[in-house]
Structure formats: C-alpha cells, structure tokens
Homo-oligomer: A and B are copies of this chain.
Amino acid sequence: MIMPDGIHSQFREHSIAEFFKKNRQMLGFSGKIRSLTTIVHEYATNSLDACEEAGILPEISVQLEQLDNGHIRLTVEDNGPGLPKKLVGKALGQMLAGTKFNRYMQQRGQQGIGASGAGMFAQITTGKPVKFKTGTGDGKAFSADLKIDFKTNKPLLENEQDAETAYRGLRIQAEFAEVKYDRGDYSPLEYLKRTALANPHAQILFVEPTGERTLFPRASEVIPEKPREIQPHPLGITTNDLVEFAHASQERKLSSFFVNTFSRFSYGKVDELKAALPEISYEMPPDELRWEDAEKLVNAFRKLRWVSPETDALRPIGPPQIEKALKNIYNAEFMAVAERKPKVFRGGIPFMVEAALAYGGNAGRRKADGATEGDILRFANRVPLLFDAGGCAITDAVKGIDWRRYDIKDFENEPVAVFVNFVSVHVPYTGAGKQAISDEEEIVEEIRLAVMDAARDMQRYLHGKVREASREAKKKAILKYVAQLAQDLPELAGKGKPKEIEKRLLQMIENKYSQLTLEEAEEEAANGNGVKEEKPEGGNGDEEKEE
C-alpha cells in the first residue's frame, strides 16, 4: 500500500524492506494459499541449509494452527546448529544481511531475503512479532520477539532472554493473516511432500490445522556431503567483477591476487597471461587496477585454455535416491534416471542437471475430469518449485521436446512425470520469490538433453509395449477363427479330430505371438538390450536436435 504523503517523500531513498513490503507479490506473497506455502518454504529451506552446513541429519517439524481470530499460527522447529545471539536478529529480520548473499556455494536459500520476508508478512498482516528461540548446543540459548523496522531495514528485538540450556536448534513461531490452508497442489503439504522426496536424509513432521499429523520419515541415513564454498573461475567473471575483487583485495601484487582469488589460476597461468598481454604490470597492487586494463585482462582470460571450473562442490541427489523416491510416490510401470556431467553457465558458474521420468502407475497429474496429464516436478538445489511454472527454464525445456519421438503422443495427456533437479552454486532465479529458473540458453539446453537422455530409455520401454499390444491384437484376431477352422479342417482333409486340431492350432498361435520374431529380436539386440549407451561427451548423440 502507498503512503499518502507523495510530496514529502520525494526522493527519499527507500529501503529494500519497504520495497518488498509494497511489492510483496515479488517475494511470493500473492494469494492466500501461495502466501502460506511461501512462508513454510522460506523457513524450511533455512533449516535444511543450516543442518546441511553443520553436517546434521535434519529433523524438522512444521505446525499450523487455525486461531479464532482467523489468523494462522506457524511453528517451525529444527535440530540445526542454531544461530549465535549477535547474528540471529539480522538473519531473521534484516533483508540482504545474511551470510548467504556473497557465497559461491550450493545452498537452497541464496539471497538473504526469505526469512525476513516471512517475518515482514507476519508483521504487516497481524502486527505481531516473530517469536524465536535458538540454542547452539553449548549451553547458551537465546529467545526474543522480533520485528523489522521497515524504514531502515533493521531488526528490532524485544523480550530478549538468555538461558543456560543444552538446547540446540531454532524454533520460530509467527502469526499470519491473509493466508488460507488447503490440501491442494500448491499447499504446504504438497510442498513438504516434495521436499521430503528430494531430501531423503531429512525427517519432516507436518501438523495441519485440523491436527492431522503427517510424518515424512527419513529414507536415508547418509548425510549429504557438506557444501563447499568455491572460488570463482576466470572464465565466469566480468570486467566489473575483476575490478571489484581487485580493489577489495589485500594481496600486494596483481599476480598473487590472481592466484589466490580465482579457481584454476596458477603461476604458470600468470606467465601465459604475461606472454599474451605484456603491457600490463603484474607487480602492481591490485587496488590500482584500472577498468581499461581489467577489460583487456578479461578478454585475455577468454583466450587462454583453462581447466574447467571445480564441480565437485555440486551436491546432486544421485540416481539411486531419485529412483527410490519416485518409486515410493508413483509406483510407476517404468522409470528412467539420467544424470549428466557438470557444465557451466555464464562462462564460469558450475551446474548440473538430474532428470528422471516415471511412466504409468500414479505418474502424471490428475485433471478435474479424471484424466491424467504429463506433470513436471521442478527442483533447484533440492527445493521444490511449485509456482511460476510458465516462466521457468525447466518447463521451457520439457515442453520444447518433441515427445512424439519418444512415443509420447501428447505430453498433456499421458501418465508421465518428469523430474528435474537443477544443481548449482548459484541458481539464477527469475524473481526474489525463487520459484522459477531464468531461461539462460546453456541451462535450457542442458535440461533438455538430460530429459531426452531419460526419455530415450523410456522410449525403448514404450516401444516394446506398443509392439506387444500389436502382437496381442493379431493373436486375438486369429484366435477368432480357430474354432471354425478346427471344424472345417478335418472335413477338407478327410482326417483328424476337431478337438485335437483346435489344440494344436492354439499352440502354434501361442508360440508365434508370445515370442519375439527374428526381426524384432535383432532390433532389440541393436538397441543394446536395455543397457544404457554412454554417449561420448560432445558426440553426435549428445547434440541431438529437435526438428
């Protein structure tokens, strides 16, 4: 809503908190159902990130209560590492103030807006603070009520209390209006179900306003490897980045700044650079680097050969876990999982795509008329993306595939589910609400290829299914005439008994149509007997293009 004092406010600088208060839909606060799911999403995401970074198997509980005044009260609690007293206010009540902002590391949250945004929404809809309690497990716990000063984007704490307890974790309680609970496709229930699907190492308890409890049990005791912060790759930086990094650097020489700041930058590379660009002094202090020279350097970087960016900081879910998870929810006739090698976008940001297909069983989305349509389950760093499907690189990529090539006549009308997890140290979301991935060309193409990898497997299955159906049809057609033929044959031949002939005919038909024909068997063999072909990197099979 807008202040009525247009004139007085002329050219006051507004805070990021004021901006998102006015444009709350940009954070996902539009519509009562979506708003509630957004809140759950932000707090659950934070909890999972905190546990992962601390190497803790997450136990998270999310409880919703419907209050008499129409408000909904949310309580989220985790067994994570907790937050130290001096940081917790900023982490929960100051936008763009988190540790997350500047780290080049695979995380779910990455902007430092989410939790503060949820607190903001509590405050503007109910006027109530967010109550939190946190303990770091070393005997020190701290609780307080938190509000945000929107004008300054600063946290305001009240009722601060220290406690001596071994409590470890974070508990948040807040009250919201302009939200509504339902159990539909966009509800917190569906969100948490998908979160459990992509995070089999987490245990998640959800309590609905009715009191109904759903436990998503831990399906794997393996703690995902801790995420690791990586250095930027020389191919991924812009001139502006280079100037900023250089001016902020404490190194004494440009050469050591390069080696210590960037990934894959050795002194050998500095020598190559000197040869390519001798007019620059590599002994100068980095904070004296001028734009013109930085631009030359960036252009020179692009001409050198580099070892690819570090990709071992990427933490995919992994094919066995994906398969297990899909099996659980879909009980599908067929599944195929494809995991591709890491790639980079914007020249230096590593990412990878995991894709899977499920066909038949409960796969696909039920439509209002009872029919089933193709469904796309989108994830980014294991976070389910429920909203803004239309503007997402994953949707673009999946819809752009010519599914008829894979024996899916019409994606909109088949029992098929496509699962995609985009994994990266930086997810280029289209908006602060983090529900869709920007359609950068390299990303869309890589998702397409991953889904097509899985689709090729599925096609072999479907193709077999089609052949089987056609054999069945022929067999049935012939069977119709068996009885008549068994009657007529003895008459024509002048010998044999109808019963006996019928039996032998049936046997012949059974033999013919229950085995592969020679042709079919050869085809099957050529397809590799269901063994997945490993296409060489960059080979023709990889670049397969539609139309």
The residues of A with any CB-CB pair to B shorter than 8 Å are: 1-6, 9-16, 18-19, 22-23, 25-26, 30-31, 87, 90-91, 94, 96-99, 101-105, 111-112, 123-127, 153, 178, 229, 231-232, 236-241, 243-245, 248, 261-262, 291-292, 294-295, 388-391, 395, 426, 428-432, 436, 438-441
Chain A interface mostly helix, strand, loop or mixed?
loop
Contact of A395 among B19, B243, B390 (CB under 8 A): B390
Q: Offer 12 A-B interface pairs, CB within 8 angstroms, sorted by A.
A: A1-B238, A3-B244, A4-B245, A6-B104, A10-B99, A11-B98, A15-B96, A18-B101, A23-B429, A23-B432, A26-B429, A123-B240
Q: Report the minimum CB–CB distance from A128 to chain B (whole Å).
A: 8
Whole-angstrom distance between the alpha carbons of A239 and B241 in the complex? Answer: 43
**Residue of B with least CB distance to A1:** B241
Contact B4 A231 (CB under 8 A): yes
Residue in B14, B102, B125 whose CB lies within 8 Å of A238: B125
In angstroms, Cα B98 to Cα A12, docked, is 7
Instruction: Output the least CB separation between A444 and chain B (Å).
Output: 11
List B contacts of A13 (CB < 8 A).
Answer: 90, 94, 96-97, 153
| Distance in angstroms between the alpha carbons of A126 and B91 in the assembled complex | 34
From A3, A99, A262, A388, residue with most partner B Cβ within 10 Å: A3
Residues on the B chain within 8 Å of A125, using CB: 238-240
Q: Is the CB of B431 within 8 A of A248?
A: no
Please give, as numbers and ranges, the residues of chain B lying within 8 Å of A239 by CB-CB distance: 124-127
Distance (whole angstroms) from the CB of A413 to the closest CB of chain B: 15
Looking across the interface, which residue of chain B has its beta carbon closest to that of A260?
B4
Name the one of B9, B101, B112, B244 contacting A102, with C-beta atoms under 8 angstroms. B9
Report yes or no: B240 in contact with A124, Cβ–Cβ below 8 A: yes
Across-interface contacts of A127 in B (CB, < 8 A): 239-240, 243, 291-292, 294-295
Chain B nearest CB: distance from A163 CB in Å?
23
What B residues does A238 contact at CB under 8 A?
Answer: 1, 124-125, 178
Pick from B12, B30, B123: contact of A428, CB under 8 Å: B30
Residue of B nearest to A431 (CB): B431
State the 6 A-B residue pairs at the shortest beta-carbon distance, nearest first.
A390-B390, A127-B291, A124-B240, A1-B241, A391-B391, A14-B96
Copies in the complex: 2
Other-chain residue from B23, B237, B295 in contact with A1 (beta carbon distance below 8 A): B237
A92 CB, nearest partner CB in chain B, Å: 12
Known: A25-B429, A25-B440, A388-B430. 14 other contacts (CB 8 A): A4-B232, A9-B99, A11-B90, A11-B97, A11-B98, A13-B94, A23-B432, A26-B431, A30-B428, A31-B439, A124-B240, A125-B239, A127-B295, A391-B391
- Pair B232/A23 contact, Cβ less than 8 Å: no
Would you give the shortest CB distance from A442 to chain B, in whole angstroms?
11
Cross-chain contact A229 with B6 (CB below 8 angstroms) = yes
A391 B11 Cβ-Cβ under 8 A: no
Residues on B with beta carbons closer than 8 Å to the beta carbon of A3: 102, 244-245, 248
Q: How far is the CB of A450 from chain B (nearest CB, A)?
A: 21
Pair B243/A19 contact, Cβ less than 8 Å: no
Complex: A426 Cα to B428 Cα, angstroms: 27
> How many angstroms from the CA of A101 to the CA of B546 in the assembled complex?
46
Tell me how far the C-beta of A296 lies from the nearest C-beta in chain B, rounded to whole angstroms. 11
Q: Which residue of chain B has the shortest Cβ distance to A369 in the bound complex?
A: B547
With A127-B240, A248-B3 as known contacts, state yes or no: A112 contacts B232, CB within 8 Å.
no
Q: In whole angstroms, how far apart are the Cα atoms of A30 and B11 in the complex? A: 29
Residues of B within 8 A of A97 (CB): 11-14
A229: B residues at CB distance < 8 A: 6
Q: Which of B9, B248, B292 sits near A5, CB closer than 8 Å?
A: B248
| Among A22, A31, A391: residue with most chain B CB under 10 A | A391
Q: Name A22's closest neighbour in chain B (CB-CB).
A: B101
**Given known A-B contacts A6-B102, A127-B240, A440 and B30 have beta carbons under 8 A apart:** yes
Contacts A124-B240, A236-B1, A237-B1 given; indicate if A26 touches B98 (C-beta within 8 A): no
Tell me the bound Cα distance from A390 to B23 in angstroms: 20
Q: Which residues of B contact A19 (CB under 8 A)?
A: 16, 96, 101, 111
Kindly provide the distance from the CB of A145 to the nearest chain B CB, expressed in whole angstroms: 13
CB distance from A278 to the nearest CB of B (A): 21
Give chain B nearest CB distance to A102 CB in angstroms.
5
Given the complex, which residues of B lie within 8 Å of A436, measured CB to CB?
391
Minimum CB–CB distance from A370 to chain B (whole Å) comes to: 14
Q: CA of A130 to CA of B46 in the docked complex: distance in angstroms?
A: 39
Determine the residue in chain B with the shortest Cβ distance to A290: B127
Closest B residue by C-beta to A348: B1
Q: Which residue of B lies closest to A392 (CB)?
A: B390
Q: Which residue of B lies closest to A396 (CB)?
A: B390
Q: List chain B residues, Cβ under 8 A from A395.
A: 390
Most buried by B among A96, A101, A439: A101
Contact A87/B26 with A6-B102, A390-B391 known, Cβ cut-off 8 Å: no
A2 contact from B16, B102, B124, B291, Cβ within 8 A: B102
A103 vs B1: C-alpha distance in the bound complex, in angstroms?
Answer: 10
| Least distance between A350 CB and chain B CB atoms (Å) | 12
